[in-house]
Amino acid sequence: MIFYSTPPTLYCSGCWLLGCCPLIDLSVEVAGLRFRNPVLTAACPTVRDGERIRRAVEGGAGGVVTKTISTRPALPKIPRPHMAEVRGGFINAELWSELPLERWVSRELRVAREVTRAAGIPLIASVGHRPSEVRRVAEAVADYVDGFEVALAYLKRSSDMAAAVRAAKRFGKPVFAKLGVLPPKTTARVARRVVEAGADALTISDSYGPVLAIDLSTYMPEDLASGDAVMGSWMGFGWLSGPPLKFMAMRMIAEILSEIPGVPVVGVGGVSTGRDALEMFMVGASAVQVCTAAILLGPQIYGRIARQLEALLAKLGAKSLEDVRGLALRKLLSRGEVLEPKPPVYYPEKCVGCRLCELSCEYDAIEVVNGKAVLHPDRCFGCGLCVTRCRFGALKPPY
């Protein structure tokens, strides 16, 4: 660690590259709870007991949300297998905590309380699922935790979701309402309902499903006699998390904040780098949670994401998260729909002639001649794809 005596407005010329720049305060307050950084654990196996919570805290998590605790342990109903890395994502058919409520109270939450207190960070119990269960679990664990996250994805009716939130609110602690992936319009309506029921913040979102994956590389037997689904659940159905979920979560966050400005939202879905986290903040999130990346890469990921985020903020010249929070959302709201086609802005000096743009332009508006892209603006349909295909910064958006 490098220490600085320079005034906090000056950045060290390169320390952010090392991920140790102490000049940006990453601590955030959400629903009255102060987190040492905005990268929290998400309810999942990486926080399935006190010992794993200890590892997450040591790995740099800014705050802890436990695996979802319910009145009954999930065992013996957990399908096997129930976790799989698939191309482009992650699928699970895991349920809530396999540990009984009594075990959380007698042991796991005591360990979790001790390690989170020592680190000075909040401990939030994820509680599920029906209102009566939420009330029982919240009552049993209230003395150990700083707040509750109510897992609402299992409930179908928004009236039940509101009742579950009210059940957790009885204990005088902040309540985060965690929604599953919902379609447009429904998202904002349900979010409003749970906020009116007393939710202090929203967690967006749970994994998406059900989905089906057949993994040939792992499961196709040598003799090709049969293939199998990656999950041991009924029909092999599971729930999708990781990179693809980020786009769904971001859409939901943007929709919610455009309808209910000011409600604190914790973004969760596919966050594995500081850049993913920054995107969530840009659409208005106040903090993020990490599940899949922590399962796949280990508990050090929380601190790594926080350091990468800090480095990105420094690079952007931001002094705090507040400088960037909601920037993209404000732009989206003010610009409306863009219908006018405009060709990309081309920087020939950066072009290396790789042909990726030419290959992908369905309108024949780019060709590579003598190792350089040549743009035909008259044929350009303004689809935008080439800008995202160019790896060398030679094509930039015109807007």
Site residues, ligand SF4 (CB under 6 A): 343-344, 351-357, 361, 363, 365-366, 368, 373, 380-386, 389-390, 392, 394-395
What SS3 state is found at 151?
strand
Considering the complex, what minimum distance in angstroms separates the CB of residue 56 from ligand FMN? 13
Q: Using CB under 6 A, which of the segments 109-117, 156-164, 285-293, 321-329 binds ligand FMN? A: 285-293
Bin 36: left if φ > 0, else alpha if -120 < ψ < 50, else beta: alpha
Residue 310 interacts with which of ligand FMN, ligand SF4, none, CB < 5 to 8 Å by class: none
Q: Which of 49, 133, 200, 206 binds ligand FMN (CB under 6 A)?
A: 206
Considering the complex, what minimum distance in angstroms separates the CB of residue 269 from ligand FMN? 5
Q: Which of 57, 83, 121, 283 binds ligand FMN (CB under 6 A)?
A: 83
Best CA proximity match to 179, nearest among 259, 291, 267, 254: 267
Residue type, 359: L
Q: Which of 187, 241, 286, 308 binds ligand FMN (CB under 6 A)?
A: 241
Those residues whose C-beta lies under 8 Å from the C-beta of residue 143, and which sit 6 or more positions away, are none
Residue 108 interacts with which of ligand FMN, ligand SF4, none, CB < 5 to 8 Å by class: none
How far is the CA of 56 from the CAs of 50, 120, 354, in angstroms? 10, 14, 43
Q: How many CA atoms lie within 13 A of 29 on its CB side?
A: 1
- What's the DSSP call for residue 120? T
Considering the complex, what minimum distance in angstroms separates the CB of residue 377 from ligand SF4? 8
Residue 28 interacts with which of ligand FMN, ligand SF4, none, CB < 5 to 8 Å by class: none
36 touches ligand FMN by CB under 6 A = no
245 touches ligand FMN by CB under 6 A = yes
129 touches ligand FMN by CB under 6 A = no
What is the spatial distance between Cα 37 and Cα 50, in angstroms, rounded to a whole number?
21
- What's the DSSP call for residue 9? T
What is the spatial distance between Cα 290 and Cα 369, in angstroms, rounded to a whole number?
45
Considering the complex, what minimum distance in angstroms separates the CB of residue 371 from ligand SF4? 8
361 touches ligand FMN by CB under 6 A = no
Considering the complex, what minimum distance in angstroms separates the CB of residue 296 from ligand SF4? 31
Q: Can you say whether the dihedral through the CA atoms of 350, 353, 358, 359 is positive or negative? A: negative
Q: Which of 21, 33, 44, 201 binds ligand FMN (CB under 6 A)?
A: 44
Q: Compare residues 283 and 390 and give the one whose CB is closer to ligand SF4.
A: 390
46 touches ligand FMN by CB under 6 A = no
Q: Using CB under 6 A, which of the segments 98-106, 269-277, 309-317, 318-326 binds ligand FMN? A: 269-277
Neighbours of 7 (CB within 10 A): 7
The b-or-e profile of 221-254 (16+ CB within 10 A means b, else e) is eeeeeeeebbbebeebbbbbbbbebbebbbbbbb
189 close to 158: Cβ distance less than 8 angstroms: yes
Residue 355 interacts with which of ligand FMN, ligand SF4, none, CB < 5 to 8 Å by class: ligand SF4
What is the spatial distance between Cα 128 and Cα 136, in angstroms, rounded to a whole number?
10
Q: DSSP characters for 129-162?
A: SSHHHHHHHHHHHGGG-SEEEEE-TT---HHHHH
Q: Compare residues 154 and 347 and give the one whose CB is closer to ligand SF4.
A: 347
Q: Using CB under 6 A, which of the segments 41-49, 164-172, 321-329, 354-362 binds ligand FMN? A: 41-49
What is the spatial distance between Cα 138 and Cα 127, in angstroms, rounded to a whole number?
7
The footprint of ligand FMN on residues 296-355 (CB under 6 A) is none
Binding site for ligand FMN (CB under 6 A): 42-45, 67-68, 83, 90, 92, 94, 96, 126, 151, 178, 206-207, 241-242, 245, 268-271, 290-293
